[in-house]
Structure 1
């Protein structure tokens, strides 16, 4: 390792060490104590004023929860999104901090894979539209319809909003298990662009609503980071994002048409119709019900009444014949491609990819095998073989 260390630029390595320490949530004093060195020694190492010894590097990797390889890898990208999130005060629990650090790490991983493969993400963000005085919901509705037409969606349902945001808008979208009370996180950074983390533990339909909500932040208040949880205060920005998400997923003309068709069919609008409408628009039942309430097609408070009477996700699955899908991919489509390409071209090892993407190796192997990264075919010529 000494030979490898001798070839390292001390200043660049020191910067990677500093980043790893801050990502571990340690101050210089805390890290120095854990390493059993003077704080001035740690300062010199992080500034590149003294070369790191092999035993010091190994100790830092252990204490910071990083791998020696990631600290030495010159291609590694380091971004610091977490400190820019909405201020997390002492009352905020560690789950929110952990989710913010995860989004930071996943964003850095994707940037590194882009650098290695030469496939930079192309951003196609709509112009930011400041929230004006007046009715927030009306502004959200108008902008949602405008963007639907710009994206060529018209009044049709959105089948996969994650792919839409990745491919058409150029957002970085990640899906990982989070604390149940956290729905998602959003951050905009000048270097990394728009980044989003969704809770894999939530049903697919709820994740879709969260993604639409965070898209609302991108188009209205992108420089105000957001951690969406069940206790989020309803600021003007939050109200806009919520209204935008509902309008974007369920345009008013489509909702009104379906509602009237179901009512005409049986003379009333029942919970069964609510389930079918939500399913057809790829929305959660709560989101669908609240959209109907907003459009005054159902009385205010309908959702709370349904919930109090035992209306649940399990009931919905029984009616639709659905079953929870435990094998949802934790790596979005674009990140699959970058990871598979880096692996097939031997730019990163399986172990390095697992560390980079914060996956265990069996899960990573399953993804790589599914993508055929070790035996890629040219589909255009496959039939000629």
Structure 2
């Protein structure tokens, strides 16, 4: 086996299972899974209808570049969503099998490791989506972290040494952020672009939570920020997905957009990688990107959950409405996030994810320690009951 596999760490959910081994929930109590960010709202009929209506097209081999109609639907959505953002569907958009697959494979295209040279560096926020680390290590790179801390929970790029910036090939950003739900503002993008101009790295902008926002405060995207700052999209690739936006995590559908030169290389890689999207999934994706009614209803459901859950938790905890996403990033009272998660499981069968499992230890500490991530993916009633139980346990 390749030695590149050796440094890979278990996924946060696997670490949680290991930490909970031997601990029993109360007898007869059904588990309340709030630890995994898997959307549970019903899949909209506009998507399932389009999928089933095109099943006959399973007899055809799909192209890695996708149907022209799909790329056009993605470009149309981007223009509507990001204030007139203009993307060429022929050269600046590429369908992918969900953002996770694309984030991983894109790193393999960007990173180039010559054995006699120092490893290429990749910079990631911390806490972070673990695929960033795995993609880096399996691409022969070396990962460095910029910790995110209160009150804004956005990466502190000043923690990255100059010697690391000088060999950085790729920077992952996640806005809206997983796990905190924080959103980069235009000034934050300007700061990152200034670093890009100085060091010449590629930006991979993970925006899969961009459509779960509140009060009409649409998160700005990386390509949109570049446009507003009078820049081109050179060196920037945006990653987005239907999983959270449209409640179809099993569809495995999204797209990447941005720098045409990078996407040309990415398409070549994907042609060999064998990651073409089936035509029925493409038809369903076209229907999804062209419809906003179901997305508005999706946001309304999440808003309702936050409106009912946060006041309950705020009677006991220091917790706020995220800028976006369906996560609550909750600061635990005694600072021990793992003990907090164990207590909830043993006392009430409630599953939450300790923040330490979403981050790495650094010389500046582990920025996830002392927090837990709660995913409000269950129905409203379940989320409210869970919040009431959690508050009652810690009000004693």
TM-score (norm 2): 0.26
Rg larger for: 1
Structure number with the higher helix fraction is 1
Flag the structure with more relative contact order, 1 or 2, with Cα contacts below 8 A and sequence separation at least 6.
2
TM-score with structure 1 setting the length? 0.27
